[in-house]
């Protein structure tokens, strides 16, 4: 992303950012599903807190 700290005008900053986003290489597809390394919660007995 382009450094837009020095640009005061909001519209101008938006234009610069948008142009930088268009120029950037597209992100690769995910190899692992999203949230795959999240902590899994086991199903516990009814009434006990899970977290």
Q: Where are the domains of the chain?
A: 1-28
Cα-to-chain-centroid distance, residue 37: 16
Residue 48 has pLDDT above 80, yes or no: no
pLDDT confidence tier of residue 50, bands split at 50, 70 and 90:
low
| Integer Cα distance of 25 and 17 in angstroms | 14
Question: How does pLDDT run across 9-29, given as a tens digit for each residue?
Answer: 999 999 999 999 899 888 899
User: Measuring CA to CA, how many Å separate 26 from each of 3, 34, 47, 51?
Assistant: 19, 18, 47, 38
Work out the widest C-alpha separation in the chain, in whole angstroms.
57
Residue 42 has pLDDT above 80, yes or no: no
| Integer Cα distance of 46 and 48 in angstroms | 6
């Amino acid at each position: 992303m382009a450094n837009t700290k020095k640009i005061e005008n909001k519209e101008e900053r938006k234009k610069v950012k948008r142009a930088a986003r268009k120029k950037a290489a597209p992100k690769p597809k995910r190899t692992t599903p999203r949230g795959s390394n999240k902590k899994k919660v086991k199903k516990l007995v009814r009434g006990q807190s899970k977290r």
